[in-house]
């Protein structure tokens, strides 16, 4: 931690995540160390990532988790089943990653798009052939809705998340500065109740 603070030229880190845990270290020990660092003023908030609701409950048994980071987007709404409701109930901020479904909601892929063999997304279920084809049809309909609002489908996807209860921010990726700037535009998108209903209908087809 001291080396990190020195390299970052700061006295504290705003948010410190446990991105992945290991079987050799208990949540109690890991979170306990972060609590100590927080008490010393070296970190401001404690985050945890890539956990299911039972793991989160174990880590948060003393109410010390401030932030959860987990996959959540229009095409993968698994978080809505248990994780997000628990976060809302416990007052934990939920930050979705993969908000553009790892590129699918960027609206640039074609129906016959294929990942190359070394692409890390090969392990992501969204790119399984039948799942991808089903989602592609949804994205095409979402594009039409986005066009009605004079925005891109990526803006629609991000604005949809920001409109959800319990979501404070999102972290879209980007290889170029221009992509980040495009994502930021979603902050200014205001979706109506009717827009949200239309989106829900498309996603549940």
Distance CA 199, CA 205 (A): 10
Among 121, 122, 124, 62, residue whose Cα is nearest residue 90: 62
Digit-coded pLDDT (tens) for 52-95: 999 999 999 988 999 999 999 999 999 999 999 999 999 999 99
The reported pTM is: 0.88
Among 200, 149, 205, 159, residue whose Cα is nearest residue 182: 159
Domain locations along the chain: 100-166+174-204
User: Does the pLDDT at position 25 exceed 80?
Assistant: no
Distance CA 127, CA 76 (A): 12
Digit-coded pLDDT (tens) for 2-16: 888 999 999 999 999
Digit-coded pLDDT (tens) for 149-187: 999 999 999 999 999 999 989 998 877 888 888 888 888
């Amino acid at each position: 931690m001291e080396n990190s603070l020195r390299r970052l030229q700061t006295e504290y880190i705003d948010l410190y995540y446990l991105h992945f845990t290991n079987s050799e270290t208990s949540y109690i020990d890991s979170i306990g160390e972060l609590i100590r660092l927080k008490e010393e003023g070296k970190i401001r908030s404690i985050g945890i990532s890539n956990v299911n609701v039972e793991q989160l409950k174990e880590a948060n048994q003393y109410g010390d988790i401030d932030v959860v980071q987990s996959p959540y987007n229009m095409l993968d709404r698994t978080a809505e089943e248990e994780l997000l409701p628990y976060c809302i109930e416990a007052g934990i901020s939920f930050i979705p990653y993969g908000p553009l479904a790892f590129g699918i909601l960027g609206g640039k892929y074609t129906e016959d798009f294929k990942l190359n063999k070394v692409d890390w997304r090969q392990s992501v279920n969204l790119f399984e052939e039948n799942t991808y084809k089903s989602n592609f049809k949804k994205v095409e309909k979402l594009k039409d809705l986005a066009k009605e609002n004079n925005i891109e489908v990526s803006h629609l996807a991000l604005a949809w998340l920001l409109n959800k209860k319990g979501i404070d921010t999102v972290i879209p990726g980007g290889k170029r500065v221009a992509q980040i700037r495009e994502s930021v535009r979603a902050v200014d998108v205001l979706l109506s109740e009717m827009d949200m209903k239309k989106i829900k209908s498309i996603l549940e087809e």
